[in-house]
Amino acid sequence: MLNILAVCGAGLGSSFACQMSVDAVLKELGVKAKLDHTDISSVSGTKADIVISGANFKKQFERYELSCPTIFLDRLVDKKEIKEKLTPVLKELGEL
Amino acid sequence: MKGLVLNKENVRLQVEANTWEEAIRYGAGMLVEQGTATQEYVDGIINAINKLGPYIVVADGLAIPHTRPEEGAKAIGCSLITLKEPVIFEGNDPVSVMICFSAVDSESHMDILKMIVEIVDQGIVEKIARMKDVDKLLKFLEEI
């Protein structure tokens, strides 16, 4: 199953709230996935298929050179933005 | 909203703050007053934002200041403040509603986050920012 990881600074607030919003968007799109959340310092070496994080972490992510698609959000809880940015990635991965 | 985590003690409206840091010291300071976090936790939030950027601004006008439990969280707790004049975070739009919280692990404060997501979903951040009466705000949140 598709693994999606939400990432923020502390790994329990913004990322968890983001995970809840992603969950709602996925339900709307009819895509099943396993969701989790973590903090920025634990993300390197992740086995997730998609990583979602805040735009302010872009620079840090460049250092990690993750092999999976990474989505950067200006508003971590904004379902409209999540849907807009997640849909093309899901299509690319053949989930939609 | 069921099981509302806000009450008369942890909500303050139309708070005056000049900077985002002042606003967080006020809102997270309420967690210290309630005994759910230490002063180090408040400093920890501010240090994390200075270091990592404003990842706590999760929707237009709304910030959710928090940091890791080991920075000085003692129990699950939260506070809501609205700001008389919005404060500005680096690279972000103005924030006029702040929900500070302390958490002891990465899951058990789910009710607080559900409320945050619900407030964003309902598009009521601005409406909350304008409210002047705590009882009316609590009633409004109970009814959504």
Asked if B57 contacts B24 with a C-beta cutoff of 8 angstroms, the reply is: no
Q: What is the pLDDT of residue B93?
A: 80
pLDDT tens digits, residue range A33-79? 999 999 999 999 899 999 999 999 999 999 998 999 999 999 999 99
Distance between B13 CA and the closest CA of chain A, angstroms: 23
* Cα gap B93→B59, rounded to integer Å: 9
DSSP B73: B
Q: What is the pLDDT of residue B1?
A: 83
Asked if the C-beta of A70 comes within 8 angstroms of chain B's C-beta atoms, the answer is no
pLDDT > 90? residue A26: yes
Identify the segments of chain B with pLDDT beneath 50. none
Residue extents of the structural domains in chain B: 11-143
* Cα gap A28→B143, rounded to integer Å: 25
Asked if B10 contacts B35 with a C-beta cutoff of 8 angstroms, the reply is: no
Catalytic residue among B24, B25, B66, B89: B66
Asked if the C-beta of B75 comes within 8 angstroms of chain A's C-beta atoms, the answer is no
Inter-chain residue contact B110 with A16, CB threshold 8 Å:
yes
Q: Per the structure block, which two tokens stand in for A70?
A: 């990474």
Question: Where do runs of H (alpha helix) occur along A1-96?
Answer: 14-29, 58-64, 79-92
Q: Per the structure block, which two tokens stand in for B93?
A: 């739009």
Asked if the C-beta of A22 comes within 8 angstroms of chain B's C-beta atoms, the answer is no
Confidence band, pLDDT 50/70/90 cuts, at residue A9: very high
Distance between B2 CA and the closest CA of chain A, angstroms: 17
Q: How many domains does chain A have?
A: 1
Q: What is the pLDDT of residue A68?
A: 95
Give percent of chain A above pLDDT 70. 100
Q: What is the pLDDT of residue B4?
A: 84
DSSP A35: E
Which phi and psi angles does B88 have, rounded to 5°? -110, 130
- The CATH number given to whatever domain includes residue A39 is 3.40.50.2300
CATH topology of domain B11-143: Mannitol-specific EII; Chain A (3.40.930)
Q: What is the pLDDT of residue A92?
A: 97
Using CA atoms, how far residue B97 sits from A2, A45, A50, B17, B26, in Å, is: 35, 36, 31, 12, 12
Contact list in A for residue B55 (CB cut-off 8 A) is 8-9, 14, 54, 56-57, 76
Of A14, A57, A78, the CB nearest to B56: A14
pLDDT tens digits, residue range B49-91? 999 989 999 999 999 999 999 999 999 999 999 999 999 998 8
Asked if B134 contacts B112 with a C-beta cutoff of 8 angstroms, the reply is: no
Asked if the C-beta of A8 comes within 8 angstroms of chain B's C-beta atoms, the answer is yes
Asked if A93 contacts A50 with a C-beta cutoff of 8 angstroms, the reply is: yes
Give residue A25's domain range.
Answer: 2-92
Told to judge if B66 belongs to the known catalytic residues of this protein, a careful annotator would answer yes
Asked if the C-beta of B114 comes within 8 angstroms of chain A's C-beta atoms, the answer is yes
